[in-house]
Chains A and B, each alone.
Chain A
Amino acid sequence: MTAMTNARGLVTAASLAATLLVGGTTTFAVAEEVVLTMAVPDWPPTRIMKKFFDEQYKPASGNIVKLDVDFIPWPDFYTRVNASLTSGEQKYNFIVSDSQWLGAFVEGGYFRKINDLLEADPAFMATFNEIHPNPKNAYSTYPHKSENYYGFPQFPDVLVNFGRSDVLCHADEQANFLAKYGNKLPCTGEELDAMTWDDFRNVGEFFRRAKGEMLAGAPAEDDFYGIAYQAGKGYDFSSMQINGFIWQMGGEIWDETQIPTGQAEGVVNSAEAVAGLEKYLSMLEFMPPLAKTGTMDIFKSDELFREGKVAMNINWIGLGEASLDPNSSKVSDKLVFGQMPGTMVDGEMKRWSNIGGQPFVLTTWTTDAQIKEAVEFVKWWLSPDIQRLFAAGGGQSAIKSVYEDPAYITYRPWNRAWAPQLDWQKDVWHVPQFFELLTQQQDQFDLAITGKQDAKTTLDNVAKFQQDLLTEAGLIQ
């Protein structure tokens, strides 16, 4: 070997090393790894999101983006997220937040305002503006209906009517119902849509069968009940239904957009509100006996429906997947869905209902690099193609161009009830005191549900408590 080749070899080796080094650093700089940590409730809508992300998401930046998701069971969800935020551990970048939590966690300095992100990106703003105003107000704005934005819809949700077509459409039942009440027993989706609460009550009364009595042409294997809806003491498992009754009857809850002049006393316990609560309470007697114990939450009423114990159940779409699955549902092949019943006021159908579903929000300690990737991810999530896939996979979309697509209603049997219900959605309060308001109200509603006190006393107590608390907090003057 000559000195020349030696030197050439050295140069080659050096250049190779240099290429490796430069190449190495450049690839390192491009493919940065960004981890987004997320707290979500454990149920199908969030499982689907995680699945889509892992299978389909390709970050435009070329970075390696990982979504590290904590799936937390629903009953513990608020407590866990609350504990994580208030303890200051700063663990999560993304949180699927119930809409009511916004005020508490914005005031606490945990949720990041996103106006600057929207303004910096016109395409993002355009997507954001495609969200139906009702979910947008409920999920994003604090103070409520202001222009301060905090969240993006993760899974928008409404209450719908789950029906069992095998009993509702049975010829004998149809004939008997017509003979007894003088109108047709609702059987198709359209007929369910047209129901008022009085019709709903009749279904409840009509289908109350003891074990062995005839039901849809055969003796009932077990006690059977006509109707069910949430009447539980935990979390918000009666307020979400009762609010709809109060609004439909012309009543109001305390209006946070009227701070500081909006009052609680006189509004919360108005005659209309009392009539709404009375209507709600009057139907409990036609429901499975669990309703009398104050523990019939959304999961229990769903279970009773899937076990084939009731003919109709009002529940969130988010719990619907399990009823379609033959492994978890005895009624998977005999389902019909419609909008939640309404109330006829002067010949017009009022359909007000409490919005469900959740936004996801960014936290204030999320770094710029994470925010960049998070925004890319949200844009991808809210893009029509992914929203369509999500809806087809059991999710729901609040993006106009998606849910107005004629194909939308073919994805899932309840989708036909989705778009018309969106216009009728309102939300509970978003103020930082919401959890105190909620627990006291739930306690009071529970007393009414279990027959300890009447509707008037209940709403008087709620109104007095809210008036005191909100006055002390400076929200009522």
Chain B
Amino acid sequence: MNAAALPAPGLITFVPHNWKLAVLLGLAVSIIAVASLPAAASFWVVGAMAVMVGAAFVINAFRREYYGGLLVTPAIAVLFVMNIFPLLWSLGLSFFAYQSNQQSIRFVGLNNYIKVLTNDIAAEANWNALVNTGMFVVLTVAAQMVVGFLLAMMFAKQFPLRKYLLILVLTPMMLSVVAAGVFFTYYYDPTFGILSYVMQSITGEQYILMDSKAGAVAGIVFADAWMWSPFVMLLVLAGLVSVPKYLYEAAAVDRVSAWRRFWTITFPYIRGLLMLALLFRTIEAFKLADLVILLTKGGNDTMTISYHLIRIANEQNKSSEGAAISYLMLFIVIVLTNLYLYIANRRSQGN
């Protein structure tokens, strides 16, 4: 008899593979536990019920020889424990008034979302940080794409010492952000820093980069581009070296201009990788906090939404308000990513 076609047990048959009964029992016990036990105890009861339901599914699958499903189970279990569960937990938290350094918790519905969107102080700070983040996304990604692209064009050609220069150029990407941040702090320092020293010897005036918003933003964008342009370069370089040589040779025979050669031969080969670099860097830039913390502490109006979130959730212990902001951010990122994928797909289909 085919194992997959084994008859399902009756709903109230107590056998280990009766997953329907396990789900019902698990739900019932969990609801009772949440309603009657203190949070610290009910947490473990619900956890045990989840394990029981999981076990019933596994035994059932084993009995029916669903080996494919069984093989991916560990991966799914890890994903659930490490990703999905915390996500759901924090989503739940965003509907409560909860501070991690206080013992009380209270259901407030959508109040946290209303607060972060409409409160005259909180919403203004969030909005401001979000606008700054948008600005950093545009500036840092643009700088990295341009610099990375130009570097890749340079390294695609053979020239003396290319190998060693390439290692040098790739170094910033491998440095810890903290090391890079401290390095740039000194680089920009008006007393000890080389930047002010050089500017002063040229203009004769005292030069302070970080004392205005434009200067502070430029400082952060430069440091970020310095670190991450090599990443864009690596991806673009991979595209450039994959262009078949004979296409260029044919173009040379046809005396095609360099500009045309680039647009009709090179660009189609690297476009996919450029898009990938753009996607990665945009997502990363959205999370920019480390360099801001190290260089300005959010001063000179350089507060980003990630740093703002760190302050609210980790330093001020307003866990549920932080969760609400995170979910709004997640929503924005998902919308933007889908928009991007939609446009990218339509383009490639158009061609």
Contact = CB atoms under 8 A, between A and B. Distances in A.
Interface residues of A, number: 39
B315 A290 contact: no
A457 interface: no
A104 interface: yes
Nearest to B121: A465
B315 A79 contact: yes
Interface in A237-270: none
10 contacts: A83-B314, A109-B103, A289-B191, A292-B211, A293-B210, A293-B216, A294-B300, A307-B191, A436-B318, A446-B297
Given A289-B206, A293-B210, A450 B103 contact: no
A304 interface: yes
Contacts of A110: 101
Given A293-B300, A451-B211, 18 more contacts: A79-B314, A83-B314, A104-B317, A105-B101, A223-B206, A234-B297, A290-B191, A293-B210, A294-B297, A294-B299, A294-B300, A295-B185, A295-B296, A436-B316, A439-B311, A439-B315, A450-B300, A468-B121
A293 B208 contact: yes
Contact of B297 (A223, A292, A295): A295
Nearest to B100: A86
Instruction: Rank and list the top 10 A-B pairs by shortest CB-CB distance, nearest first.
Output: A289-B190, A294-B299, A86-B100, A108-B101, A293-B210, A233-B297, A292-B211, A233-B299, A234-B297, A289-B208
Interface of A: 78-79, 82-83, 85-87, 104-105, 107-110, 222-223, 232-234, 288-290, 292-295, 304, 307, 309, 432, 435-436, 439, 443, 446, 450-452, 465, 468
Contacts of B100: 86-87
Interface of B: 100-103, 121, 185, 189-192, 196, 206, 208, 210-211, 216, 295-301, 311, 314-318
Contacts of B299: 233, 293-295, 446, 450
The dominant DSSP class at the B interface is loop
Nearest to A300: B189
Given A293-B210, A468-B121, A304 B101 contact: no
Contacts of A435: 315-317
Nearest to B212: A450
Contacts of B189: 290
A218 B105 CA distance: 67
Contact of B210 (A295, A304, A307): A295
Contact of A223 (B121, B191, B300, B315): B191
Contacts of A290: 189-191, 208
Contacts of A304: 191
Contacts of A108: 101-103
Contacts of A450: 211, 299-300
